[in-house]
Structure 1
Amino acid sequence: MTSLEAGSVEPDRRVAATVYRGDAVENTHVAHVAVVDADGRLLYAFGNPSRVTLARSAAKPAQALAVIETGALERFGLDEADLALMCASHNSEERHIERTRQMLAKVHASAVDMRCGGHPPLSEAVYRSWIQRDFVPDAVCSNCSGKHVGMLAGAQAIGAAIRDYQLPDHPLQVRVKHTVAEVCDLPDDGVQWSIDGCNLPTPAFPLDRLARLFAKLADATDATDATDATDATARSAVAVSPRTAALARIYRAMTGWPELVGGEGRFCTALMQAFNGGLVGKVGAEASYAIGVRASDQTAKLGSRGALGIAVKVEDGNPTVLYAIVAELLAQLDIGTAEQRARLEAYRSPRMLNTMGIETGHLSCSLTLEPQRQ
């Protein structure tokens, strides 16, 4: 019997996963899930699918959209790999740092113009390397470096000063705020704004709108593929909008360069590599996650009109639990093939080892998605 069935937990505070040490419960984890289709219809849920959630870095594709729509990529010759880094929360590997430097050169800026600070890398292997070299990271090493260079490019593209580009009232950030609200189908005042760890504004909005954003990324990619497959005579009748083309561009950049979005040993990279362009995924700090799944026979079986969007928030911010839940949801929804999902098994059932390599416990996901009435 679950806690909900026992009547001891509110419907929006249900346990989604439990960590055991031996047979004893060590921690329980509350989570929320929203699954929507390309029309924004809520198809499945767990917990509170409307929970106002700080998307953190899961919002980077929407922020990148605002930069694309300034014309900055064309003006400065930024390519699709650069766009992937703009959407990244990367490991600060050499390839990430070098690409950041190359992007800075393209936009005629330098590390001193960036308003994010250096920090320990997300990768333990990179961290060990830095310690051995007594390396002190600066702004180009930030896991959000690509987003910041994109903002420097976007500010210049609209004729605004690059100084203070990170401030909420800077012309570029005003534009970003409007774009984020619009792409999530919300009025401007329907999004709350705070300051992210990297010093840029970060949005909070209902969880199902984060799922909606990612459904749009996947749906746009389906739409542009349909246009590309249409013969020249009929193409004008099905031409996609500039925004749809931009959303598809973001999807293709992230899935085409998943190693730039995360890096070695990172869930985002492993997920997109496993599904080989079939879905896009992005983590946000404090355990938020979003996925956009391209339309298929399986999404249609789930009742989806077109692409599918999935968004997750774990209340206590535990990333290990988050990745286990995301992998579990893909299994419950039967997304992709069994072979593709098997490549995420280490995340779905992470090994819990002590300092001697002895297994001490396990993680169990208990959430079950509930169909929503339409």
Structure 2
Amino acid sequence: MAGTVAMVEVWRGGMAESRHRGHAVICDAAGAVVESWGDPGAVILPRSSVKMIQALPLVESGAADAAGLGPEDLALACASHEGAPVHVTRVAAWLQGLGLSEADLRCGAQPTRDPAERKRMLIAGEAPCQLHNNCSGKHAGFLTLARHLGAGPDYVDPGHPVQRAVRAAFEDVTGQASPRFGIDGCSAPNFATTMHGLARAMAFFAGARADAGDARSRAAARLVEAMRTFPELVAGEGRACTELMRAMGGSVAVKTGAEGVFVAILPDRGLGVAVKIEDGATRASEAAITGLLVRLGVLDPAHPAARRRLGDPIRNWRGIETGEIRLAPGFA
């Protein structure tokens, strides 16, 4: 990936053992680049970091209100959850309220990432289902919108009215025509954009207000508020999104995406942040977004959630300190 810069380093034995390179962009509410590292024009697939964009048509169309969805449901629509009971039961209830079931989802079955639930299911001999998929809330949102539009059941088809609505919203808030798309792990299309476009979209969400005159801005504000109010539904216990949002007292919404993507929405500052790690490493994207949130003054570097991603020593299986993860010189 051309134009990347060193962002995160792993040190051991007094030397940098590994370096992760990537891009990062901070945008203001007007869409202007406030600060950047690497290439703001680099085109990426944002993966699950843009679930709040994919949920915009659900809310602005009136489908969410028509289905009686609450803020917990909207948080799940933006979630990459761990398939814990709190996630699975809520998505199941959502579908039941639509007169639908797990079989109507198109995301595929995925093992739960919740340790206690995984153990229980193994003992009980239960197989995971699509409700356990980290994207089941997003897909419940797609089904809700499809029902509202009177569209067919294959809502993940790129030509389906649901995905056409998602693409239109995506291109509007990024300010760019998407040059291509890839098929995500949950089978839905994932539209590409530039780093600047992704940060611009997050800044749009940061500037959105519940009393705005346009439906898209009001919808964005509702989704951000849902994420900040219910961080445990956006990811789950022990997960970076949940822990970092709690650490910031719900003042900031953050969302991870596969292959080293992480975004942040700062409503009080009107800023949007986007990070992409070239090699796709989660440890690096979590460290990078932590460093940027600290730099922006919204995250206490001494908070355990921050130190877990950036600052705490790396220890081996005997508990011996062996190294640390640091930000690269010149980044954040």
TM-score, L = length of structure 1: 0.83
- Residue 222 of structure 2 is matched in structure 1 by 249
- Match status 1:327 vs 2:290: yes
> Conserved in 2, the CA contact under 8 Å of 1:58 and 1:282?
yes
* Structure with greater Cα Rg: 1
- 2-side partners of 1:191 and 1:84: how far apart? 28
Residue identity matched to 1:260: L
Within 1, Cα distance between the matches of 2:255 and 2:328?
A: 23
2:57 to 54, 66, 86: 66
Name the CA distance, whole Å, in 2 between partners of 1:337 and 1:22: 28
**Does residue 213 in structure 1 map to residue 196 in structure 2?**
no
Aligned to 1:363: 325
Aligned positions of 1:1-374 closer than 5 A:
12-162=3-153, 164-187=154-177, 190-220=178-208, 223-224=209-210, 227=211, 239-295=212-268, 299=269, 307-336=270-299, 343-369=305-331
More off after superposition, 20-29 vs 271-280: 20-29
| Cα contact 2:301–2:307 (8 A) shared by 1 | no
CA distance in 1, matches of 2:180, 2:24: 20
Q: CA separation of 1:13/1:185 partners in 2, compared to 1, >3 Å: closer, same or farther?
A: closer
Q: Report if the CA contact (8 A) 2:248-2:298 is conserved.
A: no
Classify 1:42/1:98 alpha carbon distance in 2 versus 1 (closer, same or farther; 3 Å).
Answer: same
Q: Quick one: structure 1 residues 338 and 242, their matched pair in 2 at CA, closer, same or farther if it must change by over 3 Å?
A: same
Greater alpha carbon shift after TM alignment, 274-283 vs 137-146: 274-283
Quick one: structure 1 residues 47 and 308, their matched pair in 2 at CA, closer, same or farther if it must change by over 3 Å? same
Report the CA distance between 1:96 and its aligned residue: 0.3
- Secondary structure of 2:55's aligned partner: helix
Instruction: Return 5+ residue gaps in structure 1 as ranges.
Output: 1-9, 228-238, 300-306
C-alpha deviations, 1:189-225, integer Å up to 9, x for none? x3421100011111110012111111111211xx43x
Q: What is the letter of the counterpart of residue 135 of structure 1?
A: E
For the residues of structure 1 that align with 2:293 and 2:235, how far apart are their CA atoms? 20
Per mean C-alpha deviation after superposition, the further-off stretch among 36-45 and 66-75 is 66-75
Post-superposition offset of 1:24? 4.2
Comparing 119-128 and 166-175, the one that deviates more = 119-128
- Which segments of 5 or more consecutive residues in structure 2 lack a partner in the other structure? none
Q: Deviations over 1:329-363 (max 9, x none)?
A: 12222235566x56422111244233333332211
Contact 1:36 1:310 in 2 (8 A): yes
The 2-side partners of 1:342 and 1:131 are apart by 32
Distance (whole Å) between structure 1 residues aligned to residue 330 and residue 10 of structure 2: 17
- Matched-pair contact (CA < 8 Å) for 1:46–1:367: no
Q: Once superposed, what is the RMSD of the aligned Cα atoms? A: 2.0
Alpha-carbon shift at residue 134 of structure 1 (Å): 3.2
* Distance of aligned partners of 1:18 and 1:266 in 2 relative to their CA distance in 1, 3 Å threshold: same
- CA distance in 1 between partners of 2:172 and 2:239 (Å): 30
Structure 1 contact 15–366 (Cα < 8 Å) conserved: yes
Q: What letter matches 2:314 in structure 1?
A: M
Contact 2:57 2:169 in 1 (8 A): yes
CA distance in 2, matches of 1:282, 1:291: 7
CA distance 1:289–1:169, shift in 2 (3 Å): same
More moved, 13-22 vs 133-142? 13-22
Contact persistence 2:300–2:306 (CA under 8 A): no
Report SS of the residue matched to 1:12: coil
Contact 2:83–2:114 (CA under 8 A) maintained in structure 1? yes
Q: Output the CA distance in 1 between the equivalents of 2:124 and 2:321.
A: 33
C-alpha deviations, 1:23-51, integer Å up to 9, x for none? Answer: 34332110210011000110111111221
Is residue 6–residue 331 contact of structure 2 (8 Å, CA) maintained in 1?
Answer: no
TM-score by length of 2: 0.93
**Percent of aligned pairs with the same amino acid:** 35
Q: Deviations over 1:232-263 (max 9, x none)?
A: xxxxxxx5311111110001011111100011
The superposition leaves residues 245-289 of structure 1 with CA deviations (integer Å, 9 ceiling, x where unpaired) of 111000101111110001100111111112223211100011101
Number of residue equivalences: 332
Bigger fraction of residues in helix:
1
Query: How much has 1:11 moved relative to structure 2?
Result: 8.1
> Do the aligned partners of residues 209 and 24 (structure 1) sit closer, same or farther apart at CA in structure 2, a change above 3 Å counting?
same
1:91-134, Cα deviation, whole Å (9 max, x unpaired)? 11100000010111112111111111112334455444443443
CA distance in 2, matches of 1:201, 1:131: 32
